[in-house]
Amino acid sequence: VYGILFIVAAGGNLPVLWSLLKNHRRKCRIQTMIFHLAIADSIVTFIMIPLEIAWRITVEWIAGDIACRIMLFWRAFGPYLSSMILVCISLDRYTAIVHPLRVHDAQRKSRIMLGVAWLTSFVCSIPQCFIFHVESHPVQKTFQQCVSFNFFQAHYQEVIYNIFCISVVYLFPLIVIIYCYSKIMWEIHKRSNANNS
């Protein structure tokens, strides 16, 4: 499954990145955002998916404690960044269609939004470096795994952390995207009715 995901994701991302890099002088706001989304998706494609494939093949973690912490940071960073940039695209489209008179400053706002997306993703991924670490099997001492085991003092703390992660990656972006595109459709519907009457 991961192999198929890798082929599909690489086949979709590389042409987009190549096209945007080739035409970098004529980039508009939305192309810049799509370029950042392609970078985020490339992090997932070329870091997260190969990590998962290698981990499934070896079963145990053989790369050591520092690599465990770094790779688990990147494993979280890619999805966070993809979600945050999708939010940026939604907010940009919302502003362009629902509040067209505010577009004069859109280039600066889009740069700020992208900066916030990268910073938020970085900050949200940092805990992975502290939570995950290498632990040896209690009986088979030579078998090691990169785990969050023994980090949280109580189970509810781990549940809260997982709910936070799921909310930031999925729930918050979903709410913003649904809101923005609902308002966009409503605005288009209103304008269409105004033009017909």
**How do the domains of the chain map onto residue ranges?**
59-196
If you average pLDDT over every residue of the chain, what do you get? 93
Interatomic CA distance for residues 150 and 143, integer angstroms? 17
**What pLDDT is stored for residue 46 in this prediction?**
94
pLDDT of 144-196, one tens digit each? 999 998 899 999 999 999 999 999 999 999 999 999 999 999 999 998 888 87
Q: Residue 43: is its pLDDT beyond 90?
A: yes
Domain boundaries 59-196, corresponding CATH code: 1.20.1070.10
pLDDT of 131-149, one tens digit each? 999 999 989 889 999 999 8
**What pLDDT is stored for residue 141 in this prediction?**
87
Average pLDDT, stretch 106-132? 96
Cβ pair 89, 178 in contact under 8 A: no
* 26 pLDDT tier (thresholds 50, 70, 90): low
**What pLDDT is stored for residue 107 in this prediction?**
86
